[in-house]
Amino acid sequence: MLESLINPKKAERRPWEMFFIGLIYASLSLLLVHWFFSGDQILSQYSGIIVVTFCVMFSLPFMYFIIKREERNDEEESGSIWRIHKDAIYALMWLFLGFILAFSFWYIALHDNNLLNAQIGTYCAINSPGNVSGCITEYISGTQIATGAASSGTMQFLSIFENNLLVMMFTLVFSLVFGAGAIFILAWNASVISASIGVFTRYNLVDIPLGLARYMIHGFPEIASYFIAALAGGIFGVGIARHGIKNRMFLKVARHVILLILVAIALLVIAGLMEVYLTPLLFH
């Protein structure tokens, strides 16, 4: 039933509607886990992964159809890469923003910090690598601890860029092997950002807009790069399946894929610089 809410053609004409689809999918994912798994002694330990799994299941039909549609657009339409694919990228960004807002709201409102336990682990591994287990315990209990000493700007940028580039490559490979599969990494990143917002706001609903601003200033170009990589991998995979590697039409698709990957890398550089040098100026 839920997949009938989405018409990929309609979503590309009015991409902002995907924001509400994202709200619904993420809300259902978190609420279902809270209602049915939080009381289970074993499954509750994997709540963060189950939340993302549900979100992926809801989103797969849209991802599958939109990637097939974009590959067809690559063949049939002429013009710049941006003009051909901008509507799909906008739709995915709105979907992602809906994920983040819903995850953040319910994660804080339900007062169940264990819901995104795996995501808190990822946050701690990045921000407190010397005391990951202690950091996880503190944040899941709803309190906040001090992080370690900050590294130099250049080292921090290189570390962030390397990590983000690795995520982008995983997204590319996932979408190449199974076009719609990239939604797993994208939903995972949305949930990690939501867990970070919970930590930043000290689990206060009123401060969610501030938390969104804190992480989305550099998050938008970063996540856009992942979506572009997902489209590139999916388009490439569909192109091979439809035409093989010797067809003239496939060569056109391959050129567009290379350009999309280069754009994605450029966005990662911009996002890394913003995260290291701009965001700390605005949020001390």
pLDDT exceeds 70 at position 8: no
Domain positions in the chain are: 11-282
Indicate the average pLDDT of the chain: 81
The better pLDDT of the pair 149, 244 is held by 244
Position 80 scores a pLDDT of 66
Q: Which residues contact 127 (CB under 8 A, 6 or more apart)?
A: 135, 147
pLDDT in the model for residue 128: 67
Q: What is the pLDDT of residue 148?
A: 47
Task: Give tens-digit pLDDT for 140-190.
Answer: 665 554 444 445 677 878 878 888 898 899 888 888 777 666 788 889 989
What's the pLDDT score for residue 156? 77
Higher pLDDT, 135 or 170: 170
User: Band of the pLDDT at 52, cuts 50, 70, 90?
Assistant: very high
How many other β-carbons are positioned within 10 Å of the β-carbon of residue 70?
23
Q: Kindly state the average pLDDT of the residues 9-32.
A: 83
Q: In sequence order, which residues have a C-beta less than 8 Å from that of residue 98 and are 6 or more positions away? A: 18, 19, 20, 21, 22, 23, 24, 25, 26
Looking at the predicted structure, is the pLDDT value of residue 75 above 70? no
| Residue (of 118, 139, 107, 104) closest to 43 by Cα position | 118
